[in-house]
A and B are shown apart, each in its own frame.
Chain A
Amino acid sequence: MHFTALIAALWIVPALGIVAMLAIRRPRWAEFLNLANAIVVFGLTLTILVAAPDHAWVGGDQYLLLTPLGAWVLFCVGMVYLLASIYAIGYMRLLPEEAPRLHKYYALQAGFALTMLVAPLMNNPGIFWIAIDFTTIVSAFLVGFEKEAECIEAAWKYLIIVSAGLALALLGIILFYWGGTFTLGPTYALTWANLRGVAPHVPEVLLFLAFLLTLVGFGTKVGLAPMHTWLPDAHSEGPAPVSAMLSGSLLNIALLGIYRFLSIVDAGGYGLMGHTALLVLGVISLFVAGLFIVRQDGAKRMLAYSSLEHMGVLAIGFGFGGPIAFAGAMYHMINHSLTKSLMFFGAGNMMRAYGSKAMSQMRRVLHYYPFSGGLWLLGAVAITGAPPFGLFLSELTILRGGILSANPWAVWVMAILLILIFTAFMNHFRRMIWGPEPEPGEAPTLRLSTWNVLPMILAFVPILVLGLWWPQGLWEFFQHAFTVQP
């Protein structure tokens, strides 16, 4: 009952917020309603995380599922939603032409958050799939919100590619269910636990086919290469707060789905094949991301490829399996959410300041914006996995876990590709900071408000802290999360 009430509040608050925003139709009100929403949601997700049960909690007439991993993903959603809501106030005010439609934007953003708060709590894989589908629909409209040709193009590609991919996942879910009917009879409740319980009785070929279909399907949503083609478009064309939410929370949820299906294959006793398949996709993603980051000029496109890279790292982490790599992957999730939000906020600021998406136009960033530019640079160091930031610790842990796994070769590939990406990133930032002076008259004059910089600070502090100090409690939580059903 305790969790049911929390979860109900978690959904009802944003829903009421959306209704209020659409009813009042005033931009200023919408800004703060959304912010209030986000604060409440963050508080609730934090409460759920702290109170997270030791075991998988099932409630709401078998429809709700709360696991440590799920609570963790949920917390990432709440956190990124809060940061993005603060930032959105500053960022959207820089787009005066959108002011009349601003309440719609905030309603959509809250709706996007709501769909993401629903998905990780679903105990029914089918309904989980539907929730993921709804996140796609809502976020596609956010991506296309500015209604420029590029934005609409990106939104269209996003919607069509991800829908097609998710259709594969649905097929996989039906095959999983079909595999269960041989043991449990024609009608049984479609839940993660049931699928996992029946997995040992399902023939290998069916189990593996179903898993591969869901892997490709949800992998499209995660943006694993080679199904990643929508990701750079959608992440680079949406407003910056939306990009942060897409990258920092939505991808995690899809990955959670993959991990849950992986656990079914694990339970069936064919885990090694499933883990290796996920691992291979992760390595391919890392490779593709590395190639595209080297030759990238769009700031947000580069960050989008960086998301691809980090999803690859997460896929490798979960693909390694084992408690150490798993803990590293969970740690990586939160670090990536924070750092990527920071990076998208910085990129959004610079795009507005220089009036261009191209990094070749953003010159002497540190000279004109010593504080927010500096934070952005530090974020770039952090996102490439350099010490002393959180991503360094988590990537190192994943590598450590990988050496003990069945696929130690991937450790070396991953290390080399990470170094390549680090070099490419630093090269881009070197040019932005020490490159030639901007043309006269093109020097940025925009003054960034507190709303633009505050979320960057809020994101930066935790990644520094998490990089210097991995709390013992968190480690134990991760170890515990590994042992219970995901």
Chain B
Amino acid sequence: MLIFHLGPLAASLFSLLAILALVLSFVMLASHWLKNHIYAFAVESWVIAAISASIGYYGHYPELYVIAALTVLFRGTLLPYLVLRLVKRLNVNREFTPLLKPSSSLILGAALVIFSYEVAHRLGVALHLQDNIAVLALTCMFSLKLIGFLMMILRSEAISHILGLLVIENGIFLGSQILVPGMPALLELVIIFDLLTIVMAFGMLVRFLQSHAGTTSSRGLQKLVG
């Protein structure tokens, strides 16, 4: 919980950044071009880094500057670069077989945001929260989570699954920066590196998928059922 009290302008700034991250996840949801997804993810990570830094500034947590810098470096630069390289190597530029049209996924995403808001609102009422910013953070965290899952469900390309997972992770990171800025920094550092490892593991497996299974689409992966 934020123990420092935010001025109205700072609160607006936080809201703006958090919701900007949410909008970027909608960009990913609506676009079929994998490159757009990756760029949107990168920008989202930068926005989250900005949130980290501004929380560090307003709440006087100097270690959050380090986290912000590392977020920019790893989540905002290195991870998108790795995924982009993967896309180029696999030569999969586009998601051809989404289950729903972009407009329908957008509407579904909007419904998920409303659901998240409802959950966050109830939590806020149960906790007697004074700061709306916490409710906002919860909303964004749950929404990003659900949108990430929605992306993984609707898309069949392996890369889209990775990106869906990254959106989920970004949501958690965003929420944790606002809700628990005092969480031991070590943990956050380790989670950043863990994410890097897991993306590299994904990258290797995707390339195995293409070379040994002949497809990177989950629709082609039908050998194991029952």
Contacts and interface: CB of A to CB of B under 8 A. Distances in A.
Interface of A: 124, 126-127, 130, 133-134, 137, 140-141, 144, 147-150, 152-157, 159-160, 163-164, 167-168, 170-171, 174, 177-178, 181-182, 185-190, 203-206, 209, 232-233, 236-237, 292, 295-296, 301
Given A177-B180, A209-B123, A171 B141 contact: yes
A181 B1 contact: yes
Given A153-B221, A163-B198, 19 more contacts: A124-B184, A126-B190, A126-B191, A140-B201, A153-B209, A153-B213, A159-B205, A160-B161, A167-B168, A167-B169, A170-B172, A178-B179, A181-B179, A182-B1, A186-B181, A204-B126, A209-B123, A292-B226, A301-B226
Contacts of A140: 201, 205
Given A147-B212, A164-B149, A141 B201 contact: yes
B194 interface: yes
8 contacts: A126-B190, A153-B209, A177-B180, A186-B180, A186-B182, A203-B126, A209-B123, A295-B226
A187 B2 CA distance: 11
A439 to B, nearest CB: 25
B93 interface: no
A154 B208 CA distance: 12
Contacts of A185: 3, 182
A159 B202 contact: yes
Nearest to A209: B123
B140 interface: no
Contact of A203 (B127, B176, B179): B127
B175 A174 contact: yes
B205 A152 contact: yes
B224 A237 contact: yes
Contact of A190 (B149, B187, B226): B187
A479 to B, nearest CB: 35
Contact of B145 (A127, A163, A167, A189): A167
Nearest to A205: B126
B185 to A, nearest CB: 10
Contact of B224 (A147, A159, A209, A233): A233
Per DSSP, chain B at the interface is: helix
Interface in B126-167: 126-127, 141, 145, 148-149, 152, 158, 161-162, 164-165
A220 to B, nearest CB: 12
B62 interface: no
A430 to B, nearest CB: 21
B205 A124 contact: no
Given A171-B145, A206-B127, A186 B208 contact: no
B219 interface: no
Contacts of B179: 174, 178, 181
Contact of B198 (A137, A141, A155, A237): A137
Contact of A149 (B126, B181, B187, B223): B223
Contacts of B224: 150, 153-154, 157, 232-233, 236-237
Given A152-B209, A174-B179, A189-B184, A296 B226 contact: yes
Of all A-B residue pairs in the complex, the 5 with the closest CB atoms, nearest first, are A187-B182, A186-B182, A149-B213, A126-B187, A205-B126
B122 interface: yes
B183 interface: yes
Most buried by B among A148, A149, A150, A232: A149
A149 B182 CA distance: 46
B214 interface: yes
B183 A174 contact: yes
B183 A190 contact: yes
A145 to B, nearest CB: 10
A170 B198 CA distance: 15
A324 B151 CA distance: 45
B198 A130 contact: no
B221 A186 contact: no
Contacts of B2: 186
B141 to A, nearest CB: 7
A236 B158 CA distance: 22
A171 B149 CA distance: 14
B145 A181 contact: no
Contacts of B162: 160
Most buried by B among A178, A185, A206, A292: A178
Contacts of B119: 209
Contacts of B190: 126-127, 130
Contacts of B201: 137, 140-141, 159
Nearest to A296: B226
A156 B152 contact: no
A160 B201 CA distance: 11
A152 B165 CA distance: 19
Interface in B182-226: 182-184, 187, 190-191, 194, 197-198, 201-202, 204-206, 208-209, 212-214, 221, 223-224, 226
Contact of A133 (B161, B182, B198, B212): B198
